[in-house]
Structure 1
Amino acid sequence: MRGTCPSRTADRRTTVSQKAKGWLLAIAALAGVWLIRNGADTQVVPPGPTAAQSFADGPVPQPGSLLAAPLKPSAPVRLRIPSIRVDAPVTRLGLGPGGRLDVPPAENRNVVGWYKDGTPPGSEGSAIMAGHVDNAEGRSVFYDLGALRRGSTVEVVRQDGRTAVFSLDAVEVYENDAFPDKRVYGAAPFASLRLITCGGGFSKATGYQGNVVAYAHLTAVR
């Protein structure tokens, strides 16, 4: 995974995790670059996570953490992260022409995308959701993702009327040429949630140089 938030097509025969990966890369291609392309004079770099918010022993909850029993699959309809004032609808994304994974509309700054054939948040496995960090108008839904701290609450309202409540385990930033595919997209034996946006350094020529990833696990259901 090299370059700056590249987009690429997804082969319809690939696994769900590979398709999800391609979709997230496609989303990243629209984030950040627009500000430069549309003539903004300045670029305000979004907050990034500190080393203190990283995992100590890999993408698993800390020993003794509360783990709620996974739910039956049900599509997400809304995402809330109170500490960074996120309250956004969720749009379902599929495959477009040529097998390319669709992305949320760039002009909508308050929407989160979920690959409709992937793991639903709250179910066993790694649910992947992503959003733009900014667009031509300014900050977008995941602008402050890098400011999250361990223990922060993430709520996903589901189509079945239940709200899956997650606790944040870590927030990490990766350069494009060192993106840990297995760490981010790997399966989990519990209900896991990964939130992704662009981040890292910024270049006017190529846009953001990496990705910010927030990891969380299911702790309660309402």
Structure 2
Amino acid sequence: MPGRRRRHRRRRPWLTALRWGLVVVAVAAGAFAVLDPFAARGPTPAAAVAGFPPAPVIREAPGSVTAAPDPVAVSVPAVGLESSLVGIGVDATGALVPPADFAQAGWFADGVAPGEVGPAVLAGHVDSRAGPAVFFRLEEIPVGAQVLVTRADGSTLTFQVTRVAQYPKTAFATTEVYGPTVDAQLRLITCGGEFDRWRRSYVDNIVVYASLVA
């Protein structure tokens, strides 16, 4: 700023030498480490970048039972939602990557399959520049509504919606959504809330929770 003098620190050679001496001792003792300035902040909220929450790491338990048939379609009659299902995965940050087709829903193929114990995850876009996408009416699904999942063997599972929640992408309820359950659960996820024009993404996620009834 004009009129303001910079304050110069007096050099202290003995202090500089002491600091370098401590570094040399630490290296010799094997105690030197490179500190990551971002480590204390925790993991980067991948969902805020990719648009969908980070998916859990799935490890198959020894002696596990035969996997359930893959899901091939989902429908929610209460809001006129119908879509075939394709397997989806995660990107380099661990965030779910929805299908490239905005009219297509996907299921997290590396996680729990619908009908197995645990939370099976379905995801899809809410809209695009062309208009509404496959999960456009997800937040309108009422509690008690049925979610029907057709499987590759021709069977159909019926889930009942227990609640609909909205979470900021910067504070997504990962444990609540992906955490273990004692029965077969279903999660349907899309974007919601306000649209951030700078990021070209919605600021929230909509999550529909449902439990297997038949």
TM-score w.r.t. the length of structure 1 is 0.65
Would you say 1:88 and 2:83 are equivalent positions? yes
Q: How many correspondences in the alignment?
A: 161
Contact 1:4 1:210 in 2 (8 A): no
Taking only the aligned residue pairs, the percentage that are identical comes to 35
Match for residue 65 of structure 1? none
Structure-2 separation of matches of 1:179 and 1:205: 20
Match for residue 210 of structure 2? 216
Contact 2:73 2:151 in 1 (8 A): yes
Give the partner amino acid of 1:85. Answer: G
Q: 1:106-121 to 2 correspondence within 5 Å?
A: 108-121=101-114
Structure-1 separation of matches of 2:118 and 2:211: 10
SS across alignment from 1:183: helix
Contact 2:87 2:106 in 1 (8 A): yes
Q: Which stretches in structure 1 are left out of the alignment for 5+ residues?
A: 9-13, 18-70
Give the partner amino acid of 2:147. Answer: V
SS across alignment from 1:6: helix
Give the partner amino acid of 1:219. Answer: V
SS across alignment from 1:184: helix
Q: 1:59-208 to 2 correspondence within 5 Å?
A: 73-94=68-89, 102-105=97-100, 108-206=101-199, 207-208=201-202
Match for residue 11 of structure 1? none
Structure-2 separation of matches of 1:219 and 1:7: 33
Compare CA radii of gyration and give the structure with the larger one: 2
Contact 2:87 2:108 in 1 (8 A): yes
Displacement after TM superposition at 1:93 (Å): 2.2
Structure-1 separation of matches of 2:91 and 2:179: 24
Quick one: which of 37, 44, 48 aligns to 1:5?
48
Contact 1:4 1:208 in 2 (8 A): no
Displacement after TM superposition at 1:94 (Å): 4.0
Q: 1:24-35 to 2 correspondence within 5 Å?
A: none
Contact 1:119 1:125 in 2 (8 A): yes
Distance of aligned partners of 1:193 and 1:98 in 2 relative to their CA distance in 1, 3 Å threshold: closer
Give the partner amino acid of 2:73. Answer: R
Contact 1:169 1:215 in 2 (8 A): yes
Displacement after TM superposition at 1:76 (Å): 0.3
Displacement after TM superposition at 1:90 (Å): 0.2
Looking at both structures, which has the greater relative contact order when contacts are Cα pairs under 8 Å and sequence separation is at least 6? 1
Distance of aligned partners of 1:165 and 1:99 in 2 relative to their CA distance in 1, 3 Å threshold: closer
Q: Which stretches in structure 2 are left out of the alignment for 5+ residues?
A: 1-43, 60-65
Distance of aligned partners of 1:146 and 1:96 in 2 relative to their CA distance in 1, 3 Å threshold: closer
Displacement after TM superposition at 1:202 (Å): 1.9
